[in-house]
Amino acid sequence: MTKVDAVFAGSIPALYDKYLGPLIFESYADDMARRLSGLKDGSVLEIAAGTGIVTSALMKTLPPAVDLVATDLNQAMLDVAAVKDTTSRVSWQQADAQALPFPDAAFDAVVCQFGVMFFPDKPKAYREARRVLKPGGRYLFSVWDSLAHNEITDLVVRAGAEVFPSDPPQFLARTPHGHFDKDPIVAALKDAGFADVAVETVTKRARAVTAADAVTGLVQGTPMRSEIEARDAKRLQGVTDVAIAKVRATFGDGPIDSKIQAHVFTATC
């Protein structure tokens, strides 16, 4: 991972929320919230909350007696999330997952959807999650499986390589889809002090009204955009167009319905 991989700024947060939310994140957010549905009171910490997609699912699923704290490294992402929160139920806070600004044993659960891949020091972040959990608390998080199991994203990566053959943008392959080997993650969680670790591979469908909607989110609503602009800002739309053509060639001109796959971990103190 490079330093720019974790930077979501400028127009990226809004595009991320508009296009990637319904495409790939919301169905997994509902699944994550369901896994905590038995929690009747206490407190939940969300790490790498982004634009609040999981947060919204948690608010719908968990009773008002459960306090929600949502954090992200990028304030720009939280700003988008906070605008959508009309309940004022959530405490939004900028925070680094590797140095959480919370006391020991403060939360009943810690949740992180598709965020751990961005942590430069993952073992340290796991130890921090363990530190802020109460005895018996749970750390739930998800990581994407490889590009081979996520068809649209794979086509977008191929489009970037076609436009920039000598120096292809590798953000999507390197970071979101570069941390899919389950065994090392389980070992790192146990080293961090978790007593029990379970992992489930969850397959869902990515759906979009058009190929353009799906591709715009992945190319322009992620740090892939920054990679392209660093090479040649004038070719951002060119990469987008090539990717749209690849997605249309695979899925047709109508609505998109594609396989997506991730691993969901539950680590218990």
- Spell out the residues 6+ positions from residue 146 whose beta carbon is closer than 8 angstroms to its own: 177, 180
Q: Using one digit for the tens of pLDDT, what is the confidence trace for 110-139?
A: 999 999 999 999 999 999 999 999 999 999
Model pTM above 0.85:
yes
Residues in the chain: 269
Q: Note the pLDDT of residue 138.
A: 98
Q: Note the pLDDT of residue 253.
A: 81
Q: Note the pLDDT of residue 85.
A: 81
Q: Note the pLDDT of residue 255.
A: 94
pLDDT of 259 over the 70 cut: yes
What percent of the chain is predicted at pLDDT more than 90? Answer: 93
Residue-averaged pLDDT of the chain: 96
- 57 within 8 A of 49, measured Cβ to Cβ: no
Q: Using one digit for the tens of pLDDT, what is the confidence trace for 148-184?
A: 999 999 999 999 999 999 999 999 999 999 999 999 9
**CA end-to-end distance (rounded Å), the chain:** 28
Q: Using one digit for the tens of pLDDT, what is the confidence trace for 202-253?
A: 999 999 999 999 999 999 999 999 999 999 999 999 999 999 999 999 998 8
Burial of 253: CB neighbours in 10 Å, binned 0-12, 13-18, 19+: exposed
Q: Using one digit for the tens of pLDDT, what is the confidence trace for 16-46?
A: 999 999 999 999 999 999 999 999 999 999 9
Nearest to 254 by CA among 213, 217, 220: 213
Q: What are the structural domains, with CATH classification, of the chain?
A: 3-268 (3.40.50.150)
Q: How confident is the model at residue 1 (pLDDT cuts 50, 70, 90)?
A: low
The residue type found at 192 is A
Nearest to 135 by CA among 101, 105, 110, 104: 105
pLDDT of 3 over the 70 cut: no
Q: Note the pLDDT of residue 108.
A: 98
